[in-house]
Amino acid sequence: MTEYSPLVFVVEDDLPIVKYLRMSLRTAGYRVIVATTATEAIAQTRSHNPDLLLVDLGLPDRDGIEVIEEVRGWSEMPIVVVSARGQEDSKIRALDAGADDYITKPFSPGELLARLRAALRRASYPENQQGSTTLDTGQIVIGECVIDLDHRSVIVNGEPVHLTPLEYRLLLYLAHHRGRVLTHRVILEHVWGPGSGDRTEYLRVFVAGLRRKLEPDPSRPRYLRTEIGVGYRLIEGGSDHRFRIVGTP
């Protein structure tokens, strides 16, 4: 374990579970810090700036969902929920609030570690693509659609397509996180700004607009996929089309 080992912030009030998580995570090479209440978690997340937040929903003072919402207000760090609540609506609420994944107790250590690795991998995906979090030059190619980042323009099948500034921002945000499921809330907060997280209807309208302009068949989206009850994901489409990032020198 070194100072470069990923730091996991465990938010959990059940002390035997805390002990178990601390041991399993340290053995797997993570650094671990712990908070046992939501208030403590909210107060400390910013100063610790962990690589991943592991949150229990049933906390003694406030609901774990509130921790997720608070952190999502300013950070895209991976958040994984560990909860005894196995119901569908509880999962949807956590994912809508901005959690990346959800593990139901009791869980196996193997499953937990695999989910954490996946969440950390997804979080570092944009950096891995070009060594930078911002791709503001070059092109992103998604099937027949080319986003020209230098000219802030979009070309579909060789023809320029007019996008409104908000449509362009939405497309760019999805493209920068392509392959990743993004919750309605996360998209809204990032594209429309803080406090917009509940405007799911608004997002639906813009997604429909983008599909009309970019998809070969907007009623059966190939690229801009709906993740029912969760959000959206921009994918490469068929095996004949692959994302390519072409950087300019």
Q: Which is nearer to Ca ion, 13 or 100 (CB)?
A: 13
φ/ψ of 244, rounded to 5, equals -130, 140
| Minimal distance, residue 19 CB to Ca ion, in Å | 14
Query: What's the rounded Cα separation, in Å, for the pair 148 and 129?
Result: 17
How many chain residues touch Ca ion (CB under 5 A)? 4
φ/ψ of 74, rounded to 5, equals -140, -5
Other residues' Cβ atoms within 10 Å of the Cβ of residue 209: 16
Q: Which is nearer to Ca ion, 70 or 215 (CB)?
A: 70
CA angle 153, 123, 183 (to 5 degrees): 70
**Residue 58 sits in the site that holds Ca ion (CB under 5 A):** yes
**Residue 189 sits in the site that holds Ca ion (CB under 5 A):** no
Query: What's the rounded Cα separation, in Å, for the pair 138 and 132?
Result: 13
Question: Two tokens at 77?
Answer: 């760090």
| Minimal distance, residue 13 CB to Ca ion, in Å | 5
Give the residue at shortest CB distance from Ca ion: 58
| Sign of the dihedral defined by the CA atoms of residues 85, 86, 92, 98, in that order | positive
CA angle 162, 167, 171 (to 5 degrees): 105
Q: Which is nearer to Ca ion, 62 or 176 (CB)?
A: 62
Q: Report which of 52, 78, 75, 80 is spatially closest to residue 64, judged by C-alpha positions.
A: 80
| Minimal distance, residue 36 CB to Ca ion, in Å | 9
**Residue 86 sits in the site that holds Ca ion (CB under 5 A):** no
Question: Two tokens at 31?
Answer: 């650094």
Stretch that binds Ca ion, among 13-21, 72-80, 108-116, 159-167 (CB under 5 A): 13-21
| Minimal distance, residue 8 CB to Ca ion, in Å | 17
Q: How many CA atoms lie within 13 A of 194 on its CB side?
A: 8
* Positions 138 through 157 that interact with Ca ion (CB under 5 A): none
Stretch that binds Ca ion, among 10-18, 33-41, 99-107, 174-182 (CB under 5 A): 10-18
Stretch that binds Ca ion, among 12-20, 111-119, 152-160, 233-241 (CB under 5 A): 12-20
Q: Which is nearer to Ca ion, 13 or 66 (CB)?
A: 13
Can you state the percent helix, strand and coil of the chain, rounding each to 5?
40, 20, 40
The correct pick among 9, 32, 45, 56 for binding Ca ion (CB under 5 A) is: 56
Question: Two tokens at 33?
Answer: 């810090």
| Minimal distance, residue 72 CB to Ca ion, in Å | 20
Q: Which is nearer to Ca ion, 67 or 207 (CB)?
A: 67
Q: Which is nearer to Ca ion, 79 or 172 (CB)?
A: 79
Footprint of Ca ion on this chain (CB under 5 A)?
13-14, 56, 58
